[in-house]
Amino acid sequence: MRGSSLRYVCSSWPLVTPARSFVPVPTVTDGDDRVKPGEARFSRCSSSGLQWFRTSVVQDLGGSGLRWFGGGARTSAGSAGPRGRQAGRRGRGSGPRRGERDTVTADFSLRQLEYFVAVASTGSMSAAAVQCHASQTGISTAIADLERRLGVQLLVRRRAKGVFLTEAGTRVLDHAQAVLARAEDLRAGARAEQGQLAGRLTIGCYATLSPFLVPPMVDGFTRLHPAVDLQFVDGSQEEIRQALLEGACDLAFLYETGAEAGLSCTTVRSSHPYVILAPGHPMAGRESVSLAELADEPLIVYASFPAQANAERWMQSVGAKPNIRYRTSSIEAVRSLVARGLGYSMLVQRWPTETSFEGLPLASVPISDPLEEIRVVIAHAASVTPTHRARAFARYARENLAAPPQDPPSPET
């Protein structure tokens, strides 16, 4: 724009879309700070084909940077339509009259952003092409065009070594992922208005909870809502908590202990800890056992937080110190070591069978000491508003996890 004194007040990454559609909008002024967000004012424009909208902002989507525009078709100097013909008559270099409020958009697409994000996540054009069901040439051409339109280099291409994000590419990636997520939420929200949930939903789960919670939740929820693309990841308590905070998953099943920071948690199940012993252990046939009686026994602990911290806290509550003999990051190894008579362990979740991975028998004995219940929660990042499908999944988990298993639900109609 020649001769303009335009400056950006804030920035987002706009998308070119047809008129009457959702677009992220930068705020631009010609020096008058009274211009409101979502509006643009120009003193002069060149005939470079810059496109603009006659704005009629009717909704701001919750601070997301997405605005709904209606009223007036998109035009450019000399283009068809009443406003376009009027602009053409005003002559070369003319744009909207001073004082009129118009919005500038950049001409790149959601598809280009999708390709860029795919390349960034896979590390190569060929892998991104497979993921996006497109040709490698098409991916490369789209990203090159995106770089040209943004005016920055996003990727460094190295023969036989894949591609790497530039510093600018790293920054743009965050914006691109946010825009694509908003677009997906928009699509899913529109379908939700018609009573059908759709879109991607990623659930995280603490590793030892996965075999108890993930299969029934995935099976039941996808039967009710087949259009939802439900994915899950599992890991340690801290890994899943970080995945929530970083947006890698929408919801997660965690133990309440240590999960509170930065998360919003709702209890879905509570359990009392108990002891497992080899059947030949002298205390195996008892109705209950106190922790003080076990203080000198070799303890086998699951090494991932919060299991060991729980065991130590429970022992300390009765004035004893645990005699930890073995630590392992495999919960099945814990049970197998106990079944072989190498020690005892304290668990929370109840296995459906009293046998180890090797098929050896185990004995479960309640703890007589008044220990607190251990709560399983479904959590989301406190700074994020859950989507329609995330709220539906959380509601389904609350309604079903505390109840005994039931027959699979019938699909939605």
- What digits encode the pLDDT tens for the residues 104-150? 455 788 888 989 988 888 888 888 888 888 898 898 899 899 988 88
Q: Within its chain, how far is the Cα of 110 from the centroid?
A: 19
Domains in the chain: ranges and CATH: 7-104 (no CATH), 110-189 (1.10.10.10), 195-270+375-401 (3.40.190.10), 273-372 (3.40.190.10)
Asked if residue 14 has pLDDT above 90, the reply is no
Which residues are registered as beta bridge partners of 269?
376
Alpha-carbon gap, residue 307 to 301, rounded angstroms = 7
Q: Name the pLDDT band for 378 (thresholds 50, 70, 90).
A: very high
Q: What is the gyration radius of the CA atoms in the chain, in angstroms?
A: 29
Number of Cβ within a 10 Å radius of residue 86: 12
Name the residue among 62, 66, 65, 88 with its Cα closest to residue 75: 88
Task: Quote the DSSP letter at residue 319.
Answer: T
Name the residue among 74, 81, 71, 84 with its Cα closest to residue 17: 74
Task: Quote the DSSP letter at residue 328.
Answer: E
Asked if residue 38 has pLDDT above 70, the reply is no
Place of tokens 């060991």: 308
pLDDT at 77: 36
Kindly report each contact of residues 51-60 with a partner whose C-beta sits within 8 Å and lies 24 or more positions away, as own/partner: 51/75, 51/76, 51/104, 51/105, 51/107, 52/76, 52/95, 52/96, 52/102, 52/103, 52/104, 53/19, 53/102, 53/103, 53/105, 54/83, 54/96, 54/100, 54/102, 55/101, 55/102, 55/103
Rounded to the nearest 10 degrees, what angle do helices 136-150 and 125-132 cross at?
110
Asked if residue 75 has pLDDT above 80, the reply is no
Rounded to the nearest 10 degrees, what angle do helices 167-193 and 388-401 cross at?
70
Number of Cβ within a 10 Å radius of residue 63: 6
The secondary structure of 113-181 as a DSSP string is HHHHHHHHHHSSHHHHHHHHTS-HHHHHHHHHHHHHHHTS--EEEETTTEEEE-HHHHHHHHHHHHHHH
Alpha-carbon gap, residue 334 to 347, rounded angstroms = 10
Calculate the average pLDDT of the chain: 75
- Listed range (171-175, 333-337, 367-371) with the worst mean pLDDT: 171-175
**Inter-CA distances, 365 with 128, 242, 316, 354, Å:** 53, 35, 20, 11
Name the residue among 305, 309, 294 with its Cα closest to residue 345: 294
Length of the chain measured in residues: 413
**Inter-CA distances, 327 with 161, 201, 230, 304, 322, Å:** 40, 34, 34, 9, 12
The amino acid sitting at 244 is: L
**Inter-CA distances, 2 with 6, 93, 207, 278, Å:** 10, 9, 60, 84
In this structure, are residues 308 and 326 in contact, taking their beta carbons and an 8 Å threshold? no
More confident residue, 375 or 98: 375
pLDDT, tens digit (0-9, with 9 covering 90-100), for 250-277: 999 999 876 667 899 999 999 899 999 9
pLDDT at 215: 93
Query: Region 18-29: what's the mean pLDDT?
Result: 39
Task: Quote the DSSP letter at residue 405.
Answer: P
Q: Within its chain, how far is the Cα of 97 from the centroid?
A: 44
Q: Name the pLDDT band for 101 (thresholds 50, 70, 90).
A: very low
